[in-house]
């Protein structure tokens, strides 16, 4: 999706402020929002690609004017409202008027260490060989569906070189909508001077991770 | 449960939600937590537990130990560069958001820096929560295009003959920068070395020196 | 410049509301702002490409959250503050603490009909033949300087067909910074299906106007 | 006067201006007008005169006369399609923002629609001020990508076999759509025809019918 989230290379944002830090404690709303996301029962089960896509669907002006963890709020209430588990009235009042059926018990505190230990992994155990090998020249496709994708706009149409092969990973475009379709994943190196008219140095490179179907042989 | 997943519908829904709910995020988040608890979808103690984890148990100190060990133990470093996940497993670190860890090494002629242009992906289990600046639009938009200008804002000036490599964590691969070991650090042991390694050095926006404390 | 203004094809904006109309009268601030822009003495003289570029430099979040004519305000105070003709304190108070020298008299009401009659014209009288003719296949370059340009991002890297030749027009990229450099200008037709992954109909086309240096023969 | 023109400096300046000035645009515009008058850079009567011009003297009625004449006079239409500027000069219309006018003709198998994706360029002298929706982000972003969807929001449904042509006014070329003449309009004279032609029909977001009034 050609959304506001796809901001790699966008002009117009000012200097980075390295000194900015935000507090993190049990009474801070940002900390609670971040950890709420890891704790609540999600409809259909946790799917990081769907969550990311819902975040991308926040209106562009809201996206640019909301705090980072407030965008997580908008994402999560979107995920919940989409299936009817919460309503606008309930979100405004904080008072439940209905309760979803057959959702089991919520995640207990004891489950945290297992989640922390294991995390989730988009990699799948597929033995088939990848189409490209390090050193191969590839072109990123003009691929911008109205839906989830993780092909950044700044490399579309550009030629890069396969740097590293990372095994087979589920394709976000399909996984976001519940279709698990693993593909070979590569780090691909692009010369900054090919990507940007105003790139400063001749040897500098940018390496996004690209799934095989995002690429064609050059 | 089969979840309907239509982009256009979600866009409309997000617009509607935003236009009907109050502006203060602290109030909204509080109401959301109460609501989800009431609905049987959330246990507040689980939130508290996660906050403890991210306050005390995982953070840049994990990454700093990895860096110090790589500086001190050539066999570990070789393993780390070849298969970072397995090497880090040896140290007993967890895997959340770091199952596909890749370590990129700085040298006198090559400087690495990490970003996620599409959101703010970061190797939580090894580095903790991303810094506020890492999540900023300024960093996300600019570091792929003008890395030298951004690094200058961190007080880091690179020579023209140093190649800059920017790694975009747009997939589930997570990067950690292995900084250069400071030249005057020969006598230090692993714990002393780890204390020098700052979070920013492992993202690539700082160098490690013997005069600076890690954070 | 890869700015927020370059929004052709961006996803995330909702339906158009055709019924929205804004009042236009002597007491409306929008009307006054619009007509102020046509009336005030601009430093260095009126240069539409510079004005457009200054508008593009408004911070992205301000751009997305400001009224159209409020963006004109931000542009014009930027143009004026850039040369020191107005200060932030003066803009906040509305009270002048200094007055620019040698600016002559402001535009009188009698000058309006002449401006209306004649307008401004980016076309220049150059007899040299253009490089391309209708029917030629061309590719839009990846051209995205940190500065003015009128090459929309959505056609960069794509192949189109010259539809119409419009004579020589000053190049905005150069004209914005005071360098008048006319070039042949063309309407170029691009197949919607080449530009967008989600284009609906096979025959639909999009026609931006592109200067010759934005194009290379395909 | 030589004006310094550095993009980065202007970006910083715009950020600074926005962070220091009050939020109400009506107040700011009023203060700006007073300030410029005081500084000898502006005559308020000139603003009043422009507002009169755009309220009474130029507007879509000009374009509607062009359309009606093209429908009624084959030689004029031929001239209009070949060199719109010269043809329109014959009617005595002014040229502001319409020096490079191009007319694009709708047919039963081809529908034209006009946008400016980069700002909101529009042929002022022939059509007046652009409609509010024409200046909206929704229209600017979407009509190049999903013209059929946008036109549906205007109540205009196009058949699949009609080719849609979207014209982006990103340069100083300005477009006017010549709509199809309604089939049941044979008996009408130019003035009656002109009264049928709406502003939206000349941008390409509406058709002309004999039952609708122009605006």
Q: Where does residue D23 rank: exposed (0-12), middle (13-18), buried (19+ CB within 10 A)?
A: exposed
Domain assignment of residue C184, yes or no: yes
Indicate if the pLDDT at residue B80 is higher than 80: yes
The catalytically annotated residue of B34, B44, B55, B119 is: B119
State whether residue B9 sits within 8 Å of chain C by CB.
Answer: no
- Subunit partners of chain A (3 or more CB pairs within 8 A): B, C, D
- The domain at D58-203 falls in which architecture? Alpha-Beta Complex (3.90)
Instruction: Name the percent of chain B lying above pLDDT 90.
Output: 97
Test mutation, A8, A12, A152, chain C, max C CBs within 10 A: A12
Domain assignment of residue A45, yes or no: yes
Closest residue to C14, CB basis, from B7, B12, B137: B12
Indicate if the pLDDT at residue B214 is higher than 60: no
Domain assignment of residue C50, yes or no: yes
Q: Are residues A111 and A153 in the same domain?
A: no
Distances C202 to C162, C194, D164, D165 between C-alpha atoms, Å: 19, 10, 10, 12
* pLDDT average, residue stretch A157-178: 98
Domain assignment of residue C68, yes or no: yes
Contacts of B40 (CB under 8 A, 6+ apart): A99, A100, A103, A105, A106
* pLDDT average, residue stretch A31-52: 97
Q: Domain holding C87: CATH number?
A: 1.10.472
Indicate if the pLDDT at residue D80 is higher than 90: yes
Cβ–Cβ < 8 Å for B198, B60? yes
Which of chain D's residues have a Cβ under 8 Å away from the Cβ of C147? Answer: 7
Spatial separation of the C-alpha atoms in residues A30 and A28, rounded to whole Å: 5
Q: Please tell me the total count of domains within chain A.
A: 2
Residue C200 — very low, low, confident or very high, per pLDDT cuts 50/70/90?
confident
Nearest CA of chain C to the CA of B104: how many Å? 29
Please tell me the predicted confidence (pLDDT) of residue C20. 87
Residue B166 — very low, low, confident or very high, per pLDDT cuts 50/70/90?
very high
- Subunit partners of chain C (3 or more CB pairs within 8 A): A, B, D
* Beta-carbon separation of A65 and C65 below 8 A: yes
* Beta-carbon separation of C14 and B11 below 8 A: yes
Q: Where does residue B174 rank: exposed (0-12), middle (13-18), buried (19+ CB within 10 A)?
A: buried
Last residue of a domain, one of C118, C146, C169: C118
Q: Are residues A148 and A167 in the same domain?
A: yes
* Beta-carbon separation of B20 and A92 below 8 A: yes
Distances D61 to D86, D89, D179 between C-alpha atoms, Å: 18, 15, 15
Closest residue to B25, CB basis, from A67, A96, A148: A67
Domain assignment of residue C76, yes or no: yes
Which of chain C's residues have a Cβ under 8 Å away from the Cβ of A145? Answer: 197-198
Indicate if the pLDDT at residue B213 is higher than 60: no
* Beta-carbon separation of A12 and D11 below 8 A: yes
Which of chain C's residues have a Cβ under 8 Å away from the Cβ of B15? Answer: 14
* Beta-carbon separation of D42 and C108 below 8 A: no
Q: Report the 10 Å Cβ neighbour count for A132.
A: 19
Q: Which helix (H) or strand (E) holds B52?
A: helix B44-52
Domain assignment of residue C110, given as a range: 28-118
Spatial separation of the C-alpha atoms in residues D85 and D101, rounded to whole Å: 5
Residue D34 — very low, low, confident or very high, per pLDDT cuts 50/70/90?
very high
Test mutation, B15, B19, B117, B149, chain C, max C CBs within 10 A: B15
Indicate if the pLDDT at residue D215 is higher than 50: no
* B19 flagged as catalytic: no
Residues 52-81 of A with CB under 8 A from C: 56-61, 63-65
Q: Which residue has the tokens 């992994």?
A: A121
Residue D212 — very low, low, confident or very high, per pLDDT cuts 50/70/90?
low
Size of interface A-C (CB pairs under 8 A): 86
Indicate if the pLDDT at residue D123 is higher than 60: yes
* Beta-carbon separation of D168 and C24 below 8 A: no
Q: Which helix (H) or strand (E) holds A146?
A: none
- What is the per-residue pLDDT across C9-41, written as a single tens digit (0 to 9) for each? 999 999 999 998 899 999 999 999 999 999 999
Residue D1 — very low, low, confident or very high, per pLDDT cuts 50/70/90?
confident
Q: Are residues C162 and C97 in the same domain?
A: no
State whether residue B12 sits within 8 Å of chain C by CB.
Answer: yes
Q: Are residues C45 and C87 in the same domain?
A: yes
- Closest residue in B to C4 (Cα) is B141
Cβ–Cβ < 8 Å for D122, D62? no
Indicate if the pLDDT at residue D214 is higher than 70: no
Q: How far is CA A164 from the centre of its chain?
A: 21
Q: Which residue has the tokens 């109540």?
A: D155
- What is the per-residue pLDDT across C51-91, written as a single tens digit (0 to 9) for each? 999 999 999 999 999 999 999 999 999 999 999 999 999 99
pTM over 0.90: yes
Please tell me the predicted confidence (pLDDT) of residue C1. 95
* B119 flagged as catalytic: yes
Indicate if the pLDDT at residue C212 is higher than 90: yes
Q: Are residues C129 and C213 in the same domain?
A: yes
- What is the per-residue pLDDT across A50-84, written as a single tens digit (0 to 9) for each? 999 999 999 999 999 999 999 999 999 999 999 99
Q: Domain holding C174: CATH number?
A: 2.30.30.50
Please tell me the predicted confidence (pLDDT) of residue C71. 98
Show the tokens assigned to A92. Answer: 């405004």
Spatial separation of the C-alpha atoms in residues A11 and B142, rounded to whole Å: 7
Q: Are residues C50 and C114 in the same domain?
A: yes
Please tell me the predicted confidence (pLDDT) of residue A97. 96
Distances C159 to A24, A160, C140, C178 between C-alpha atoms, Å: 51, 20, 7, 31
Hey, which residues of D are catalytic here? 116, 119-121
Average pLDDT, chain A: 97
Spatial separation of the C-alpha atoms in residues A183 and A175, rounded to whole Å: 11
* B169 flagged as catalytic: no
Last residue of a domain, one of A54, A89, A118: A118
Please tell me the predicted confidence (pLDDT) of residue B212. 53
Residues 154-213 of B with CB under 8 A from A: 154-155, 160, 163-173, 200, 205
Q: Are residues A128 and A114 in the same domain?
A: no
Domain assignment of residue A5, yes or no: no
Domain assignment of residue A63, yes or no: yes
Instruction: Name the percent of chain B lying above pLDDT 70.
Output: 98
Q: Are residues C92 and C111 in the same domain?
A: yes
CATH 3.90.330.10 region(s) of chain B?
A: 58-203
Q: Report the 10 Å Cβ neighbour count for A127.
A: 5
Domain assignment of residue A51, yes or no: yes
Helix (H, G, I), strand (E, B) or coil at B115: strand
Spatial separation of the C-alpha atoms in residues C193 and A154, rounded to whole Å: 20
DSSP B55: I
* Beta-carbon separation of C62 and D18 below 8 A: yes
Average pLDDT, chain C: 97
């Amino acid at each position: 999706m050609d959304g506001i989230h796809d901001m790699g290379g966008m002009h117009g944002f000012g200097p980075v402020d390295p000194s900015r830090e935000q507090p993190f404690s049990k009474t801070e709303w940002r900390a609670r929002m971040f950890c709420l996301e890891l704790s609540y029962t999600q409809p259909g089960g946790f799917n990081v690609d769907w969550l990311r896509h819902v975040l991308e669907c926040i209106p562009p002006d809201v996206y640019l004017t909301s705090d980072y963890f407030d965008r997580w709020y908008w994402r999560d209430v979107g995920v919940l409202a989409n299936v009817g588990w919460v309503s606008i009235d309930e979100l405004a009042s904080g008072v439940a008027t209905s309760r979803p059926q057959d959702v089991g018990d919520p995640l207990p505190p004891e489950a945290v260490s297992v989640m922390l230990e294991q995390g989730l992994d988009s990699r799948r155990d597929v033995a088939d060989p990848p189409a490209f090998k390090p050193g191969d020249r590839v072109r990123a496709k003009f691929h911008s569906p109205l839906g989830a994708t993780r092909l950044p706009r700044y490399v579309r149409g550009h030629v890069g070189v396969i740097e590293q092969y990372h095994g087979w990973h589920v394709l976000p475009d399909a996984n976001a909508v519940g279709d698990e379709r693993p593909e070979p994943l590569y780090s691909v190196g692009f010369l900054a001077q090919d990507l940007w008219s105003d790139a400063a140095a001749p040897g500098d490179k940018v390496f996004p991770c690209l799934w095989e179907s995002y690429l064609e042989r050059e | 449960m089969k979840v309907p997943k239509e982009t256009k519908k979600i866009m409309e829904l997000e617009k509607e939600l935003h236009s009907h709910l109050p502006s203060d995020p602290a109030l909204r988040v509080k109401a959301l937590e109460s609501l989800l608890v009431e609905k049987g979808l959330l246990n507040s103690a689980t939130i508290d537990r996660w906050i403890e984890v991210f306050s005390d148990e995982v953070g840049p100190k994990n990454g700093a130990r990895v860096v110090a060990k790589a500086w001190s133990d050539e066999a570990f470093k070789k393993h780390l560069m070849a298969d970072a996940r397995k090497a880090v497993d040896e140290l007993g670190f967890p895997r959340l958001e770091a199952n596909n860890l890749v370590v990129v090494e700085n040298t006198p002629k090559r400087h690495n820096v990490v970003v996620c242009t599409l959101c703010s992906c970061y190797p939580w289990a090894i580095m903790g929560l991303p810094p506020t600046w890492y999540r900023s639009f300024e960093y996300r938009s600019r570091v792929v295009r003008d890395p030298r200008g951004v690094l200058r804002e961190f007080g880091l000036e690179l020579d023209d003959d140093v190649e800059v490599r920017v790694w975009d964590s747009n997939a589930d691969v997570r990067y950690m920068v292995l900084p250069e070991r400071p030249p005057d650090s020969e006598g230090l042991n692993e714990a002393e070395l780890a204390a020098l390694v700052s979070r920013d050095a492992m993202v690539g926006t700082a160098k490690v020196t013997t005069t600076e404390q890690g954070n």
